A = this chain, B = another copy of it.
Amino acid sequence: MLWGGRFDDKLDNDALRFSSSLSFDINLIEEDILVSKVHSEMLFKIGLITETEFNQIQKGLNQILAEWKDEKWNLKQNEFEDIHSAIESKLTELIGNQAGKLHTGRSRNDQVATDMKLWIRKVLQNIIELLTVTQKVFVTLAEDNVETIIPGYTHLQRAQPVSFAFHLLAYVEMFEADKNRFKNILTEIEECPLGSGALAGSTFSLDRNFTAKKLGFKSPTTNALNSVSDRDYLLDFLNACSIGMMHLSRLAEEIILWSSSEWELISLSDKFTTGSSLMPQKKNPDLAELTRGKTGRVYGNQLSLLTTLKGLPLSYNRDMQEDKEPVFDSFKTYFSSLKIVMMMMQTVKIFKERFLNELQNDFLLATDLADWLVIKGIPFREAHEVVGKLVKYCEDNSKTFGDISLNEMQSINKIFDKSALECLNIKTSLQRKKTYGSPNPKLVKKQIADWKKRFNAK
């Protein structure tokens, strides 16, 4: 135990189990040992420990990490309050009481804050990389589907024809936004809390610049109180995970719809579907469902930490120990979901011709027809009304834009002529789009090229 002088009784066993964070902060072992090594180096540099002590501590810490990695450290989870206690205890075993010098001028408060920032920095880099990999998968798939016409939906009603490529590029943009969100967090963790002590710094002349630089930070933090009670970067991390999961949940929903018998737009690989224990014919998009479902836990984690931090007086309160599990879980859940989605899309089969005929016999080009009327000088609102009536005429007479005659169109409004029929051809519909950002294949190809350039630039 790292304290005890003033206590008569030991912590109750139930209480130790209730309060120990070792089962999850063991995740931070590499960061914690690195921080201790740098801290001891600094203690040596400013003369608080000798070179021999410094060398002993380094050796001891290296050995602990090595034993841990080799699964040789028989760590008893129920005996320690946290990773810091466990390591100090083990270090004492290895090098004797000199281990007790390691904690000079530091508190678990600034130590764990430093550990967490290092850990977050590491996983941010992993996430950003995986997002790029995923974008590449989507762009590759898009490249193959620039001419694959599918209905674009609003309200899950068929709205206007788009290409599957265009649809995929919307997700590539979302992933880019996710990347930026995670990158912003990197700039939030540029200052090193180590040396802030419990809340008020130290009477020792700790060289905070040294430890900050050595640990890869830009500079030390400027207010010790804030240093130990700031969890903003974790909240921003949880928020970025939530928004990232929200994006994945939207795609997951679409994958589920597209895989249904009703849509039948894609077929997922056997490797990424499962069967039923009862119904022999089933092939279920479980992984997409799980991705959608796990959104709940990632939102829950974010809310959990927000709730925990509400109304806490400064500076450190033990409540804050509850910051770790939600963060670890959101990372794991988001990262693995992203990877699974990436792999699902890498192996998906698209039925490119699925919608072509069906869309020809539908009303998705109603807007284009209204636009045609506008060109003829009719105010858009009136044009909208005219085409609306035409659609109603078709429905009442079981017709579609695929088999309506010019005569019938003229019975609704005389202005229609042959050229109006041209804008009812689904196959050329994308080409008729003129605006920047539209699914016009020329523009989509340009977007794809731009993305590829960007990936190479990195």
Q: Closest approach, in angstroms, between the C-beta of A147 and any C-beta of chain B?
A: 15
Contact assessment for A274 and B153 in the assembled complex, using a CB-CB cutoff below 8 Å: no
Contact assessment for B254 and A314 in the assembled complex, using a CB-CB cutoff below 8 Å: yes
Contact assessment for A434 and B287 in the assembled complex, using a CB-CB cutoff below 8 Å: no
**Complex: chain B residue closest to A412, CB-CB:** B5
Q: With A157-B283, A311-B311, A319-B289 given, is the CB distance from A392 to B5 under 8 Å?
A: yes
Copies in the complex: 4
Contact assessment for B303 and A319 in the assembled complex, using a CB-CB cutoff below 8 Å: no
Q: Is A120 an interface residue (CB 8 A)?
A: no
Contact assessment for A81 and B274 in the assembled complex, using a CB-CB cutoff below 8 Å: yes
Contact assessment for B303 and A174 in the assembled complex, using a CB-CB cutoff below 8 Å: no
Give the distance in Å from the alpha carbon of A12 to the alpha carbon of B289 in the complex: 16
**Complex: chain B residue closest to A166, CB-CB:** B225
Contact assessment for A293 and B321 in the assembled complex, using a CB-CB cutoff below 8 Å: yes
**Complex: chain B residue closest to A233, CB-CB:** B177
Contact assessment for A438 and B200 in the assembled complex, using a CB-CB cutoff below 8 Å: yes
Please name all residues of chain B whose beta carbon is closer than 8 Å to the beta carbon of A18 when the two chains form the complex: 287, 290, 336-337, 340
Q: Is A36 an interface residue (CB 8 A)?
A: no
A72-80, A127-135, A380-388, A403-411 - the one binding chain B? A380-388
For A48, A224, A363, the residue with the greatest tally of chain B CB atoms inside 10 Å of its CB is A224
Q: With A19-B287, A157-B283, A364-B281 given, is the CB distance from A243 to B254 under 8 Å?
A: no
Q: Closest approach, in angstroms, between the C-beta of A91 and any C-beta of chain B?
A: 10
Q: How large is the interface on A (under 10, 10 to 19, 20 to 34, 35 or more residues)?
A: 35 or more
Give the distance in Å from the alpha carbon of A339 to the alpha carbon of B325 in the complex: 22
The residue that A315 contacts in the complex, of B19, B153, B278, B301, with Cβ under 8 A, is: B153
Give the distance in Å from the alpha carbon of A343 to the alpha carbon of B104 in the complex: 35
Q: Considering the complex, which residues of chain A in the window 238-273 have a beta carbon less than 8 Å from any beta carbon of chain B?
A: 239, 242-243, 246, 249-250, 252-254, 256-257, 259-263, 269-273
Contacts A225-B439, A300-B303 supplied; 6 other A-B pairs, CB < 8 Å: A2-B275, A159-B199, A162-B225, A170-B315, A198-B367, A296-B308
Q: Is A44 an interface residue (CB 8 A)?
A: no
Q: With A4-B385, A386-B5 given, is the CB distance from A188 to B177 under 8 Å?
A: yes
